[in-house]
Amino acid sequence: MIGYVSKVFFHTLAASQSLKRLASRYGMRDDRSFARRFIAGETIEEAIVVVRAIEASGLLHTLDLLGESVHTMAEADAATRAYLATMDRVVAAGVGRGLSLKLTQLGLTIDRATCVDNLRRILDRAGADDFFVRVDMENSSYTQVTLDVFETMWQQGYRNAGIVLQSYLRRTPKDAERMIELGASVRLVKGAYQEPKRIAYQRKSEVDAAFVEIMQLLVGRGTRTAIATHDRVMIDATRRFATSRGVSPDAFEFQMLYGIRRDLQAQLRDAGYRVRVYVPFGREWFPYFMRRLGERPANVTFVIRGLLSEGRS
């Protein structure tokens, strides 16, 4: 219940323009500013420095150019071109080739056909340069259309892409069955948005039970699965299940967000698992940042500490 209240509170704050202006002024100002705990930087150059360090520590990564819900075709086109430019920089830097993106960033709310065209531009380039593109899952108003767009691309032969499923949605076991049928790679998460009871579990115990059930479905049926969570109980359940079924550690991977549970990332790496860090960067970091605060209100204390020290500097 506290989790739900905190999500509602932080999602409401995320809509505040004045808070966004205040945070934007201080959050990324220098290397010690508070938003840098979760955001790799505002530019691709800063993000590349971060992913080099991640690679040096034996971890994998996926880059997310932050931005969501653009409102014009021009903005959707600009976001698409920004992704293409990011790919240029990644290739030139010689770092790992993984991207995560949101369909609303590519124009899904304006016009589905435009969004599909933009996604195709990115996937064509991804195919040519051996990138893997993960389509993030947004709030439930986009679940079906995101799955539909993903499946359209899949049926057209784009295999260098994967999808995300959220265990808090009651519909997800059925969607997981469909992705298993297709043979598509799935990232399993609990779900980051505030959703109504009718369609989504509200209690942590229910979301967790669904997570384990869907993990077993995906890993047990040989899907290329990314278990994306910082929850040790979910991680241990996955390890036990894989061992009991004789699934080799390189048949799936764990994923965590940049700046969260680095200790656990290192432990899993040392135990021989593939661990991928989701690395967000870009100027539009505020909504992402607020979702991270909503997941763990204790994070607010370091923001307040950061703001107070900014005020003194």
Ligand X SMILES: Cc1cc2nc3c(=O)[nH]c(=O)nc-3n(C[C@H](O)[C@H](O)[C@H](O)COP(=O)(O)OP(=O)(O)OC[C@H]3O[C@@H](n4cnc5c(N)ncnc54)[C@H](O)[C@@H]3O)c2cc1C
Residues known to be catalytic: 136, 187
User: Residue 166 or 225: which CB sits closer to ligand X?
Assistant: 166
User: Residue 223 or 255: which CB sits closer to ligand X?
Assistant: 255
What sign for the dihedral angle of Cα 271, 213, 100, 302? negative
Stretch that binds ligand X, among 13-21, 67-75, 78-86, 222-230 (CB under 6 A): 222-230
**How many residues line the site for ligand X (CB under 6 A)?**
23
d(CA 80, CA 74): 10
Instruction: Pick the closest to residue 133 from 100, 158, 164 (CA basis).
Output: 100
User: Residue 106 or 192: which CB sits closer to ligand X?
Assistant: 192
The 170-189 contact track toward ligand X, x by CB under 6 A, reads: -------------------x
- Pick from 46, 213, 231, 310 the residue near ligand X by CB under 6 A: 231
164: contact with ligand X by CB under 6 A: yes
192: contact with ligand X by CB under 6 A: yes
Instruction: Judge whether 54 and 277 are in contact, CB under 8 Å.
Output: yes
Smallest distance from the beta carbon of 92 to ligand X, in angstroms? Answer: 25
Residue 264: count of CB within 10 angstroms of its CB:
17
Hunting for tokens 């739900």 — which residue is that? Answer: 4
Instruction: Pick the closest to residue 230 from 190, 194, 202 (CA basis).
Output: 190
The C-alpha R_g of the chain, in whole angstroms, comes to 19
The 270-309 contact track toward ligand X, x by CB under 6 A, reads: --------x-------------x--xx--x----------
Instruction: Judge whether 35 and 281 are in contact, CB under 8 Å.
Output: no
User: Residue 198 or 312: which CB sits closer to ligand X?
Assistant: 198
Record the tokens describing residue 199, joined without a space: 């369609």
Residues 6 or more apart whose Cβ sits within 8 Å of residue 92: none
**Residues of the shown chain interacting with ligand X in the complex, contacts defined by CB under 6 A:** 136-137, 164, 166, 189-193, 228-231, 255-257, 260-261, 278, 292, 295-296, 299
